[in-house]
Amino acid sequence: MFTFDLALVWLDLAGVLFFAVSGSLLAAKKQFDILGSALLASLVALGGGVIRDIIINAGPPAAFTNPVYLLPPLFAAALVYFLFSSIQRFTSLLTLFDAGGLALFCITGTLKALGAGLNPVAAVVLGVTTAVGGGLLRDITANEIPALFNARDLYALPAFAGATLTAVLWSVGAFNGLTAVLVAVLVFAFRVVAWRRAWRVPLAVRGWHRNGVASGAEPRLRD
Amino acid sequence: MFTFDLALVWLDLAGVLFFAVSGSLLAAKKQFDILGSALLASLVALGGGVIRDIIINAGPPAAFTNPVYLLPPLFAAALVYFLFSSIQRFTSLLTLFDAGGLALFCITGTLKALGAGLNPVAAVVLGVTTAVGGGLLRDITANEIPALFNARDLYALPAFAGATLTAVLWSVGAFNGLTAVLVAVLVFAFRVVAWRRAWRVPLAVRGWHRNGVASGAEPRLRD
Amino acid sequence: MFTFDLALVWLDLAGVLFFAVSGSLLAAKKQFDILGSALLASLVALGGGVIRDIIINAGPPAAFTNPVYLLPPLFAAALVYFLFSSIQRFTSLLTLFDAGGLALFCITGTLKALGAGLNPVAAVVLGVTTAVGGGLLRDITANEIPALFNARDLYALPAFAGATLTAVLWSVGAFNGLTAVLVAVLVFAFRVVAWRRAWRVPLAVRGWHRNGVASGAEPRLRD
C-alpha cells in the first residue's frame, strides 16, 4: 500500500496548500503583517488535520512529525506577499482556494479515519470535521462569522457529499486515484456552483425568510 | 457494571440533547440556515464531551465511534425548525436548556474522569471543563461574549458544585441512580434560581461595582 | 534526571503564573467577575500546555493530573482582585506578564517535545505553539484581535527564537539551568524591546504600509 499512502500524502499536501493560501489572503485583507500571514496560513492549513489526528488518537499529528507540512504555509505567505497587490477579486479568490482545500480534505480526512479502523459513519463525520475545521479556526481567529454558519453560503453540504462518496467508494472497493480525483472535482464544482448561483437551504426556523421574515410568522423574540 | 455504564450513556445523551437544543436556538436567533443549525447543535452538544475524551486520552471520542450521538443534534435542529416560530421567550428557553445540559454534563464528565483513573481533584476539573466546554465553543463561534465569563450570570459555580458533589458521593460509595438525579436537579435549580434572582459574585477587582465603579476606587486605566 | 525534570516543572509553573496574571488582568479590563477572572486565568495559563500535552499524546495533560497547576490561576485572580485598583498602566503590565509566560513556555514546550522523542524541527513548532497557544485562547475568548496576529506587535518571533535556541542548545548538549535562564531572559528582552521600540516586520502584502497603503499599490479589494 506504499503507493496509496504516498498518494494520500500528496492529496493531503495539496489541500494544505489551498487552505494555506486562503489563510494568507484573509491575513492580507485584515492587514496582518507577514508573520501573522504565515501563522494564519499554518493555523488554517494544519488545524483541521491536527484535530483529525488528535481524534483518531494515533500518535502525534502528521503536521508536527513531518516537517514537509510546514512548507505550504510559508509558500502561501510568500505567494500572497508578492502577488496580492495585483489581485482584483479578493473574495472570489479566497472562496476558490477554500473550496479546493475543502474538496481534498473531506476525502483525505475520511480515508485516514477509515484506515484507523473507524466505522463508515464515524469516518464521514471525521471527514467533514477535517474539511471544515481549519476554515472554522481561521474565521474564529480573524473575528469573522464562520463561513460554515453563514446562511448565504452552502459550505458543509459539499464536504458531507464528498465524505459520503469517499466512504461508499471505499466500502465497495472502488476507491482509487481516478475516483479520488473525480470526487474532488465534484465537491469543488458543487461548492463553487452553489456559491455562484447562490443556492440556499431553508433558514433554521420554518416560515422565516432571508432579509426579514415572512408575514404571519414574524419573530417575537423577547429577551 | 453494565447497568451503570448504560445509565451513564443515557445521562450523557440527555445532556447532549439539552445542549443541542441550546445550539439550535442560538442558530435561529442568529438567522443561520438549517444546516448551520444542525452543525452548531453538534458543536455545542458534542464539543464538551470530545474535549473530555481527548484529555482522558482513551481512544477516539464516543461522539465519533457511537453514531447514536449524532441523533440529538439532528433532532434539535428539526425541533427548533418546526416549533421556534411560536416561541415567546427566546433567552429564557435557551438558558433553561443550557442549564439542563450543564447539570448532566458536570456529572457524566466527572464520572468518566473517575472511571479513567484520574484523582478526584482532576476529575472535578474535567467535569467542569466538560460542562462548560460546549457552551464556550457555542458562544465563541457565534461571536458572543461567553456565558461563562458574563459577570451578570453565575455559570461555572453550579457546575463546580455538581462536579464536587459527584466526586464526593463516588468516593464514599454513595453514588447511584437516585443520588445522580438529585445532584442533577440541584445543579439545575442552583443555575436557574441564580439566574432568576440575579445572584452575583464580586467583580474581578476589589472596590469596583457593576455599571460603573465605586467612588474612591475609580479605574485609572492608561493605555 | 530527577533534578532536571523538577527544574522543568518549576520553569513551567513560573510560566503558568505569568500567563495566569495576564488572564486575570484582561478579565479585570473586561469587567468580568471574580469567577470569570479565575477561569480566564486558568484558560490562558493551562491552555497552551494542555494543547502541547494532547499533541505529544502521552497520557492526560499535566494540568489535569497534577493539582498544583491549579494554584497559580487562583493566586493570580486573588492578586489582581486585591491589587488591581491601584494599577496605573494596564496594558504595559499585561504585556510584561505575557512576555514572561512566552519566554518560559517556548523553552518548556520545546523541551517536553524533545523529551517525547519528536525531531528538533517538530519540537520548535510545538514550543512556539505552546508559547502562543494560551494567549491565543485568551484573546479569542475575550473577543479581542489576538496579539499573535496584531501587526503592531512582534509576538511569534521571540517565541520562535527561544524555541530554536533551546533545540540547538539541547542538540549540542549545552542546555542546562544557566543557559535556560539566559534564553528566557533573551526572549523576554527581545519581546519587550520590540514592543517599546515598536519594531515591525512588513505587512502581508508587498507595497502596503500601515495606516493606509503606498501610492501606486493601493488595494483594489472587490467583494
Q: Which of C140, C205, C219 sits opposite A141 (nearest CB)?
A: C140
Q: Does B55 touch chain C (CB under 8 A)?
A: yes
Q: What mean pLDDT do residues B37-52 have?
A: 90
Chains that touch A (3 or more CB pairs under 8 A): B, C
Q: What mean pLDDT do residues C209-216 have?
A: 51
Cell of A104: 481534498
| CB contact at 8 A, B221 and B208 | no
Residue A15 included in any domain: yes
Residue B176 included in any domain: yes
- d(CA A185, CA A175) in angstroms, rounded, equals 15
Q: Write the single-letter amino acid at B207.
A: G
Residue B25 included in any domain: yes
Question: Predicted confidence band at B1 (pLDDT cuts at 50, 70, 90)?
Answer: very low
- d(CA B167, CA B173) in angstroms, rounded, equals 10
Q: What is the pLDDT of residues A122-143, one digit of tens each?
A: 899 999 999 998 888 888 887 7
CA C66 to chain B, closest CA, distance in angstroms equals 8
Question: Which of B31, B52, B25 is CA-nearest to residue B138?
Answer: B25
- d(CA C34, CA C40) in angstroms, rounded, equals 10
Chain A residues closer than 8 Å to C135 by CB: none
Q: Over 70: is that where the pLDDT of C222 sits?
A: no
Chain C residues closer than 8 Å to B57 by CB: 54, 57, 59-60
Residue C166: per-residue pLDDT: 95
Chain B residues closer than 8 Å to C52 by CB: none
Q: Over 80: is that where the pLDDT of B221 sits?
A: no
Between A105 and C212, the higher pLDDT residue: A105
CA B112 to chain C, closest CA, distance in angstroms equals 13
Q: Does C64 contact B206 at a Cβ distance shorter than 8 Å? A: no
Residue B218 included in any domain: no
Q: What is the pLDDT of residues A1-27, one digit of tens each?
A: 446 677 778 888 999 999 999 999 988
Q: What mean pLDDT do residues B20-47 have?
A: 89
Q: Does A24 contact C207 at a Cβ distance shorter than 8 Å? A: no
Q: What mean pLDDT do residues C29-42 have?
A: 87
Question: Predicted confidence band at A88 (pLDDT cuts at 50, 70, 90)?
Answer: low
Unique residue bearing C-alpha cell 473525480: A182
Q: Which of C34, C40, C67 sits opposite B122 (nearest CB)?
A: C67
CA distances to A87, B47, C202, C209 from C212, rounded to whole Å, are: 17, 40, 13, 6
Cross-strand partners of B222: C89
| CB contact at 8 A, C210 and C151 | yes
Cell of B122: 482532576
Residue A77: per-residue pLDDT: 92
Among A64, A83, A93, most C C-beta atoms within 10 A, so best to mutate, is A64
Residue of chain C with shortest Cα separation from B205: C81
Q: Does A145 touch chain B (CB under 8 A)?
A: yes
Q: What mean pLDDT do residues B184-200 have?
A: 90
Domain that holds residue B127: 2-196
Range with lowest mean pLDDT among A24-28, B88-92, B134-138: B88-92
Chain C residues closer than 8 Å to A62 by CB: none
DSSP label at residue A15: H
Q: How many structural domains comprise chain C? A: 1
Question: Predicted confidence band at C57 (pLDDT cuts at 50, 70, 90)?
Answer: confident
Q: Does C154 touch chain A (CB under 8 A)?
A: yes
Residue B83: per-residue pLDDT: 83
Q: Does B39 touch chain A (CB under 8 A)?
A: yes
Q: Does B148 contact C60 at a Cβ distance shorter than 8 Å? A: no
Question: Predicted confidence band at A151 (pLDDT cuts at 50, 70, 90)?
Answer: low
Between C138 and A6, the higher pLDDT residue: C138
Between B6 and A36, the higher pLDDT residue: A36
Q: What is the pLDDT of residues C170-199, one digit of tens each?
A: 999 988 888 999 999 999 999 999 888 888
Q: Does B203 contact C50 at a Cβ distance shorter than 8 Å? A: no
Q: Over 60: is that where the pLDDT of B73 sits?
A: yes
Interface B:C, Cβ pairs < 8 A: 104
CA C141 to chain A, closest CA, distance in angstroms equals 10
Q: Does B57 touch chain C (CB under 8 A)?
A: yes
Q: Which of A64, A90, A143 sits opposite C55 (nearest CB)?
A: A64
Residue B126 included in any domain: yes
Residue B221 included in any domain: no
Q: Which of C140, C151, C157 sits opposite A32 (nearest CB)?
A: C151
| Spatial CB neighbours of B126, under 8 Å, sequence gap ≥ 6 | B52, B55, B56, B109, B110, B112, B113, B118, C64
Residue B142: per-residue pLDDT: 78
Q: What is the overall mean pLDDT for chain A? A: 84
Cell of A95: 472562496
| High-pLDDT (> 70) share of chain A, % | 88
Q: Over 60: is that where the pLDDT of C220 sits?
A: no
Q: Does B121 contact C77 at a Cβ distance shorter than 8 Å? A: no
Q: What is the pLDDT of residues C95-111, one digit of tens each?
A: 899 999 999 999 999 99
Cross-strand partners of B203: C33
Question: Predicted confidence band at B65 (pLDDT cuts at 50, 70, 90)?
Answer: confident
Q: What mean pLDDT do residues B95-117 have?
A: 92
Q: Does B33 contact A203 at a Cβ distance shorter than 8 Å? A: yes
Residue C210: per-residue pLDDT: 66
- d(CA A169, CA A163) in angstroms, rounded, equals 10
Question: Which of C112, C22, C29 is CA-nearest to residue C73?
Answer: C22
Residue B176: per-residue pLDDT: 86
Backbone angles phi, psi at C209, to 5 degrees: -130, 160
Q: What mean pLDDT do residues A43-70 have?
A: 87
Chain C residues closer than 8 Å to A28 by CB: 203-205, 208
Q: What is the pLDDT of residues B195-213, one digit of tens each?
A: 888 888 888 787 776 654 4
| CB contact at 8 A, C159 and C134 | no
Q: Does B39 contact A202 at a Cβ distance shorter than 8 Å? A: no
Residue B44 included in any domain: yes
Euclidean distance between the first and the last CA atom of chain C, given in angstroms as a whole number: 59
Angle (deg, nearest 10), helices C90-115 and C156-171: 30
Q: Which of C27, C39, C85 sits opposite B217 (nearest CB)?
A: C85
CB B217: neighbour CB atoms within 10 A?
15
Q: Does C198 touch chain A (CB under 8 A)?
A: no
Q: Which of C55, C202, C223 sits opposite A34 (nearest CB)?
A: C202
Residue A222: per-residue pLDDT: 43
Q: What is the ipTM metric for this complex?
A: 0.81
Between C207 and A98, the higher pLDDT residue: A98
Residue B50 included in any domain: yes
